[in-house]
Amino acid sequence: MNEQATPREALLAKIGDKRAVVGVIGLGYVGLPLAVELARSGYRVIGFDVSDAVVAGINAGRSHVLDVPAEVLASFVEGGLVEATTELPRLAECDAISICVPTPLNKTKDPDLSYVIAAAHAVHFALRPGQLVILESTTYPGTTRDVLLPILEESELRAGDDFFVCFSPERVDPGNPKWHTRNTPKVLGGVTPACSEAGVALYSRVFDTIVPVESAEAAELVKVYENTFRMVNIALANELAQACDVLGVDVWGVIEAAATKPFGFMKFTPGPGLGGHCIPLDPHYLSWKMRTLSYKTRMIELASEINGEMPGFVVRKVADSLNNARKAINGSTVLVLGVAYKRDIDDLRESPALEVIRLLQDKGAEVRYHDPFCPVIQDDPHTPVRGLPMHSVELSDAELDAADVVVVVTDHSEVDYAAVAAKARLVVDTRGVMRGPEEHVVGLSRRRPEPPRLRLVG
């Protein structure tokens, strides 16, 4: 390389011939899959995390993320392409740095950017000419330019000339067998055109499809819009379920029939509430930002209210079904099937099952749960469930015999729901997995006007 090469030229050359070392800050559900794909593309990756246990596990070739097979991670670790550390000064070794840290909401649903700010300061102390910094953490429009960039420019280096800054939202869907890190189109926007050029140069070698947008703000807004779209449409499905319950119509039959329309309709389904690290949270980043600009996002607020009511709706279903069977919820044994926030994953983040369990406990029920992916609900100050840690029980005939009601909250594929329906006295099915004529199975909406009856087993 010419000694007079500009920082931009030097960075693009390193990216082009795979000499660039890439740092990934945060080795969770987003960061670890990204690190593996960077390594798969031929880049040496240094992963940074505050957890000694996570770092030790990765360096031993052990994966703590369901979508990253341990044997794949181990092969890159053994080949010298992936290593993990807690030593943030090693960011100076990196030519490109992706920030994949949490952006939670506080109790008033305001964004908590403390992890982003901490990562920004760590990068600032290691910043040198010719580095690329990409923020992946979901946040409100303006974060990259108004929060991250000023911290980095305290170094007196300037974005677009000396170093390069982009926003590229993560699009992780845990447990999705079709769409994963590499083949999911990657949106990217820089704070300057030169920044966008550098970000595209790196990520085009890692992802199958890059979608450049006009700015970092546009990329930030893409992410919150995507999940606001899902949140609002799920709220509509949840409201439809409650309307169908009043009307005595099977909500699942209505949705399946509507989904046969080949144009102008996209299928969304109701459930016990929203869960996961994106849909319950991301729209509120936009809502918060717009409040600071004296604009009220009414659709977001209403959708959040409807979705937030679903755990209570489910528990009322349980109480009414028990009452119709001449049993009180106070003192009843409730077996919850599934506590992960969605099917066939081990993720409890924002899971509506936790709120369902808490509300059942508040009404005096004795709650047990079965989940083949979540063997324990850990003792955590952010988890509303009492009596933690709580351990998954075996889905046995004895457990089903002991339960006054079984509540299907998460529809894991490996559960034999026909066998559950055959054995259980009473079932409240929030996922529509039991669609037969059994009178002791209660869905989110009534399928007939007569109340369910307790089935005698024996």
DSSP class per residue in 152-208: HGGGS--BTTTBEEEE------TT-SS--TTTS-EEEEESSHHHHHHHHHHHTTTSS
- Position 7 scores a pLDDT of 96
Does the structure show a pLDDT above 90 at 245?
yes
Q: What pLDDT, on the 0 to 100 scale, is given for residue 449?
A: 46
Which residue has 């024996």 as its token pair?
458
| Residue whose entry in the numeric block shows the structure tokens 């990409």 | 134
Query: What average pLDDT does range 177-199 have in this prediction?
Result: 97
The phi, psi pair for 232, rounded to 5°, reads: -65, -40
Confidence of residue 30 (pLDDT cuts 50, 70, 90): very high
Q: What is the pLDDT of residue 172?
A: 87
pTM: 0.90
* Range 273-296 average pLDDT: 91
Given a cut of 80, whether residue 155 has pLDDT beyond it is: yes
Q: Measure the CA–CA gap between 300 and 287, rounded to whole angstroms.
A: 7
* pLDDT, tens digit, 9 for 90 and up, residues 93-105: 999 999 999 999 8
- The whole-number pLDDT of residue 207 equals 98
* Rounded CA separation 308/300 (Å): 12
- Between residues 379 and 239, the one the model is more confident about: 239
Confidence at residue 455, expressed as pLDDT on a 0 to 100 scale: 62
Q: What's the rounded mean pLDDT across residues 243-257?
A: 94
Question: How many angstroms separate the Cα of 36 from the Cα of each of 10, 97, 235, 291, 331?
Answer: 24, 14, 35, 38, 49
Judge whether 210 and 200 are in contact, CB under 8 Å.
yes
Sign for the CA dihedral angle at 428, 347, 68, 168 comes to positive
Residue 451 pLDDT > 80: no
- What tokens were used for 399? 């457990």
Of 456 and 217, which is predicted with more confidence? 217
pLDDT tens, residue by residue, 59-111: 999 999 989 999 999 999 999 999 999 999 999 999 999 999 999 988 788 89
Contacts of 377 (CB under 8 A, 6+ apart): 339, 348, 354, 369, 383, 385, 388, 389, 390, 391
Q: Where does the pLDDT of residue 438 fall: very low under 50, low under 70, confident under 90, or very high at 90 and above?
A: confident
Q: What is the mean pLDDT of the chain?
A: 94
Q: Which residues of 437-453 are buried (b: 16+ CB within 10 A; e: fewer)?
A: eeebbbbbbbbeeeebe
The per-residue pLDDT for 450 is 52
Rounded Cα distance between 63 and 81, Å, is: 15
* Whether 278 is catalytic: yes
Q: What is the pLDDT of residue 152?
A: 97
Instruction: Please tell me which residue in 94, 195, 244, 278 is annotated as part of the active site.
Output: 278
Lowest mean pLDDT among 153-162, 337-346, 428-437: 428-437
pLDDT-based confidence at 165, cuts 50/70/90?
Answer: very high
pLDDT of residue 106: 83
Residue 232 has pLDDT above 70, yes or no: yes
Nearest alpha-carbon partner for 35 in 17, 8, 13, 54: 54
Ordered structural domains, the chain, with CATH? 7-214 (3.40.50.720), 215-458 (3.40.50.720)
Higher pLDDT, 43 or 435: 43
Q: Report the alpha-carbon distance of residue 98 to residue 182 in Å, rounded.
A: 15
* % of the chain residues with pLDDT over 70: 97
Average pLDDT over residues 7-31: 97
